[in-house]
Amino acid sequence: MFLKSMELMGFKSFADRTHIDFSPGISALLGPNGCGKSNIVDAVKWVLGEQSTKNMRALKMEDVIFNGTVKRKALNVAEVTLTISNETNILEIDAPEIEIKRRLYRNGDSEYFINNTVVRLKELRELFFDTGIGKTAYSILEQGKIDQILSSRPEERRYLFEEAAGITKYKLKGIEAAKKLEKTRDNIKQVQNILTEVSKSYFTLKEQSEKTTEYRDIKNKLFDIDVNLQLLKIEKLKELHQRRGEEHKQREKSLKSIEDDIKLLGSDLSESHRNQGQIKNTLSESQKKLYGLGVEKESLKNRITANKDREKEYNLQFKSLDERESKYNLRSKELKSDIEEKNRTSEGLKSELITFEKNLSKYITENSRFSEHVQGLTDNIENNSNNVATYEDKKDGIIENIKDLATKITDKLEESLKSFSIEKHETLVEMFRKQLKLSKTNPSILFNLERDFDELINNFPINLLKLISEDKNLSQKKSYDLELKDITIKIQECKSVIQKSKDEIKLTNSKIEINSELISKEKIKIAESKVKLSGIEENLVLINKNLVEEETLLNEIKRERIQIGEKIKQIVMDRETLSKKLEELKLSEEKISSDIKKMEEEVNKLLNNNRDKEQLLNKKRENLSKISLQIERYNFETEHIDNKVAELYEEFKDKYSIELTDAKNSTEILNRDEDTLKQAIADLRVKQKMIGQINLMAPEEFKEVSKRYHFLKSQIEDLKNADENLSKITEQIKSESTKLFSETFFNIQKSFSVMYQRLFGGGSAELQLTDPHNVLESGIEIYARPPGKSLENISLLSGGERSLTAVALLFATYEIKPSPFCILDEIDAALDERNISRFVNTLTEFSKESQFIVITHNKKTVTGSGALLGVTMQESGVSKLITMRLEHEEEEE
């Protein structure tokens, strides 16, 4: 399952309908600050049911609706739709693709949809229970959540572990069961209060009912005695009638003969009825047996069906085991291939490392040699500079000497030239004088006087020429000139050596700089190779561990396959036994059905015979009636008796509103003495008066109250049973939740320690329950010690360390219970380059199982992504989306 796409319309800065397609693996969400990147995260939380306006960065929920810009009007509705792939059926809806939608109107009306069907928020949230997805689950991790995980109270960190443990649903059921339990106990109190009120009426009416019943019993007894008394009178009248009818004995004989026939027929008919009853009883028993066989047969069929279902279930488990075995074999193959690749890469890195170290050594040696050469050149420059200084000192001395000689020579020449006034040489002499005058202030002009001097010599008189040539100062000056020239040449030579040395130093330093850059590069290559090598070796340890776990799982699958095979064999044997028993039941059913048919035929035969006998009996009775009427006609003298009897019947009817004959049929013969009967009536009258005032409707009222009274008692019993059942359910949920949470916490605890060391390159970290004896309420403490530090309190960690600790906890949770997709909002912002590399490598590894959408500004995180989602705000206040798919070439590590 992964997040396929999202569509936003009118949500925050996404004014236009914006469709975003997400890819499996890692997608990077980029954009400048304030462009609306975080609005996408808010949209995911919002559509998953977020109700907190604070978490939506709003004052009220209607603020998430696009509120307009200078160029655009505000909208009246916001809508966000997520499309989720469900091909693996993680979500309990039978559909390969599920669409979740939330819509909010500016009037405050809100709607939720699943596959375009309106649902309640509760149904939407229950859909994502225990998947890691949800507004409070670990599928969305922001900077704020990092602070919440690391800074909040230990009890507030539980949601991560509860979601991973899959007890969110249990927790909700437990809350519901607790509410039902509380409601049941309230109902018990209410029913008990009602029962208390009803009990008062119950016992009052019970007493009244007993008095009324006693009154009615006396009345009934009086009635029975009176019936007996009247019947006794009538019987005496009939006896009188019989005595007077002796002459009609012949008719009485006929009457007796008919009565004997009737009696005989009645006895025969009774015997036939008894036989019929016995057959019916046998028939009823057979029918019961037949029904029991039917029930048992149905039960066997159900058991056979259940047996087949179990076989199907085990076959499905077989199929699941095949799929799991195939998956684990594939993963083992991939792990082994990965191990071989990592080993090859490791050997390559080791070879590269040797080459890099050799290069480093070569460059260091060369630089050492270059440095020594530079030092020699520097010493040479210093020596020549010292020589230049010495020569410059000598030069200055010679120049001072030349200045003194020049003064002497010029003074003498000027004196000599005073007498040299040949007109034709005036111009030449004047020029020479000027040169002489200048030479006093600038002795270097003396070097140029030789050329003028030669011209003067050719024109001077012999006596003046002799005078100049014999001047010792001039010869001394020439000696100084030669010496100055020699020193100047030496100075130039030293300066030339110095310049050459400086040029060579510059060239050598350039070589040193080049080598230094190469040394730095080789050191970086060596460091990178060592980091890669370390990472590969750590990865190899983890992969080997995973390979062992995969092979262990494969062995477990094989053991499960054998166990399921044995179960299927047993199921087939059980089904064969049940089928045989079912066939036996069918045979028994057929036999009993045949017996029932025979008995029904026999009963029908008896019914026909009894019908004939009853017809004959009725005829006999008709004859008896005729003879009785004849007797009455022949006994006119008994008319008075008959009238008296009629009067007695009439009086009885007037008194009790019931026929005496009807009363006779329901009244027991008590006594045949008339006086005794009268005395009994008198005694009962006395008792009747002693009862006093009665409520004649009390028995009926008591019956109604009694029904309610017993109903309420029954209801209390039912509520108490419900209370007991709910208590058991609550304890069962608590026990199951404790087990799941403990197992998950232990697994995350182990994974967190390994993941922390992997991401930090060392150090240690652990998770601890603040109250191990109360797992479901206990807080969770995080202890972290980065490499080289002794601190434990996570509040003292740096921003990068806090982020990396939270990432370690997130990845540890994902290792135990991965969420199908995860959104990370700038959690890499505080990480340095080294930690970023570890973070990206780990993220890439986990992206094989889960889909990651990362909001980031870090280039390394971006380069590790498979797709780029760019958010821009070309129009002020309105966000737009740009999507780019990256094609990565496989790089050798």
Binding positions for ATP are 32-39
Closest CA to 524 of 356, 361, 358: 356
Residue 727's CB: how many other CB atoms inside 10 A?
14
Binding residues: 32-39
Q: Could you please report the per-residue DSSP string of 410-477? A: HHHHHHHHTT---GGGHHHHHHHHHHHHHHHH-GGGHHHHHHHHHHHHHHS-HHHHHHHHT-HHHHHH
Name the token pair of 487: 């020193």
Determine contact, residues 446/408, Cβ cutoff 8 Å: no
- Give me the residue label for tokens 């330093």: 509
User: Among candidates 486, 314, 311, which has minimal Cα distance to 391?
Assistant: 486
Continuous segment of H or E residues that includes residue 256: helix 249-417
Q: Taking Cα atoms as reference points, which of 128, 126, 145 lies closest to residue 41?
A: 145
The amino acid present at 646, given as its one-letter code, is A
- How far the first Cα of the chain sits from its last, in Å, is 31
885 CB-contact burial (10 Å; exposed 0-12 / middle 13-18 / buried 19+)? exposed
Q: How far is CA 551 from the centre of its chain?
A: 28
DSSP 8-state code for residue 94? S
Neighbours of 676 (CB within 10 A): 13
Burial class (CB in 10 A: 0-12, 13-18, 19+), 304: middle
- CA 456/CA 432 separation, integer angstroms: 8
User: For residues 82 and 98, what is the distance between their CA atoms, to the nearest angstrom?
Assistant: 8
Measuring CA to CA, which residue among 200, 208, 203 is closest to residue 694? 208
Amino acid sitting at position 221: K
Distance CA 825, CA 150 (A): 16
Residues 6+ apart with CB under 8 A from 440: 406, 407, 410
Residues 6 or more apart from 353 whose CB is under 8 A from it?
526, 529, 530, 533
Q: What phi and psi values does residue 887 have, to the nearest 5 degrees?
A: -105, 110
Order across the sheet with 851-855: list the strands. 140-142, 821-825, 851-855, 26-30, 867-875, 878-885
- Pairing label, strands 77-85, 3-9: antiparallel
Cα gap 521→514, rounded to integer Å: 11
DSSP one-letter string for 557-624? HHHHHHHHHHHHHHHHHHHHHHHHHHHHHHHHHHHHHHHHHHHHHHHHHHHHHHHHHHHHHHHHHHHH
| Residue appearing with tokens 């009238």 | 643
Q: Which two tokens stand for residue 491?
A: 């100075």
Cross-strand pairs, 881? 871
718 alpha-carbon distance from chain centroid: 38
**Residue type (1 letter), 623:** N
Backbone phi and psi for residue 118, each to the nearest 5 degrees, phi listed first: -65, 130
Residue tagged 């008692």 (tokens): 713
Phi-psi region of 31 (alpha: psi -120 to 50; beta: other; left: phi over 0): left
3-class state of residue 51 by DSSP: coil
Q: Dig out the tokens for 601 from the structure.
A: 């035929």
Angle separating helix axes 698-760 and 799-816, nearest 10 degrees: 120
